[in-house]
Amino acid sequence: MAKKVKKKELGLGIKALLSNIDHKVEESPELVVRELSNTVAFIAVTMVEVNPFQPRKEFDEESLKELAESLKVHGLIQPITVRRLDSNHYQLIAGERRLRAAKIAGFNEIPAYIRIADDQEMLEMALVENIQREQLNAIEIVITYKRLIDECKLTHEELSDRIGKNRTSVTNFLRLLKLPPEIQQALKLKLISMGHARSLVGIENILLQNALFKETIDKELSVRALEKLIRESAEPKKKQTEKSVLPDDYQDVENQLKSYLEAKVELKLKGKGKGHIIIHFDSDETLNNVLDKIEK
């Protein structure tokens, strides 16, 4: 049976978090912003309305279904962010794709960071302060980076200045959000290190990425051992794409055929006096032209 995220792992009940919030805001808005910026609450999906100024209007349905299936298994690692309008009404700030997928997955509640109106400057200060906490894991750090970019409208350069990190470090952290939820969760639980994660995120083939991730966990591979496996997995592909250098006389034959047939021609040697001639065509017209010239 698919499992949802355990509430204890993420945050508080919405009533406990927001009790007397209006009164608290009047007394000490800084403390409220700081508390809300670092706390995840659960909100009914029916209470969240989409921001009418959201520039993104179209979402790939197949991609949403895949994310929904992932949420059923791993839960929502990166909470959405909402602005509180009143006690039972919230407006989405960031995470519409996650919200849509949660609805498809049948979630009644969704984890969310809650903001109050006009708290931009205080929120930025609270989030930057939050990053300095030593006990944050890599995923918590990168989620905070993403919030600063999305909610506080910071560029990578501005973010690096705010947190005292170089831009390359910031970009490398943000790339971790491209990892599948299973690998993000393993990094969060410290089953793999940042070094492992950086190596895995560079693998474009999802099946290969998943296979090497599982092998890393099962065999407790070091980062260096994982990097070696990644290099070895890429070598056959590299060898296949390398073109053999033809001797001059064979190269002349290849060039003459290209010129005469007016098509791409490859001459491949398989040994002394043996090989293949490959003629490429990209349309019926090109093929007919080649056949006419061969018949002549």
Burial (0-12, 13-18, 19+ Cβ within 10 Å), 117: exposed
Residue 44, classed as helix, strand or coil, is strand
Q: Of all helices (H) and strands (E), which one includes residue 236?
A: helix 223-241
Reply yes or no on whether 96 is catalytic. Answer: yes
**DSSP letter assigned to residue 192:** S
Residue 12, classed as helix, strand or coil, is strand
Per the residue annotation, which of 35, 69, 96, 227 is the catalytic one? 96
In terms of Cα–Cα distance, which of 157, 181, 173, 153 is closest to 69? 181
Residue 81, classed as helix, strand or coil, is strand
Tokens standing for 126? 């609270």
Tokens standing for 105? 């997955």
Distance of CA 59 to the CA centre of its chain: 16
Which residues, other chains included, contact 137 with Cβ-Cβ below 8 Å and sequence gap of 6+? 187, 188, 190
Q: From the CB of residue 177, how many other CB atoms can be counted at a distance below 10 Å?
A: 15
Tokens standing for 296? 């002549």
- Starting at the edge strand that comes first in sequence, how are the strands of the sheet with 11-12 ordered? 11-12, 40-44, 109-115, 80-86, 89-94, 48-49
Active-site residues, by number, are 96
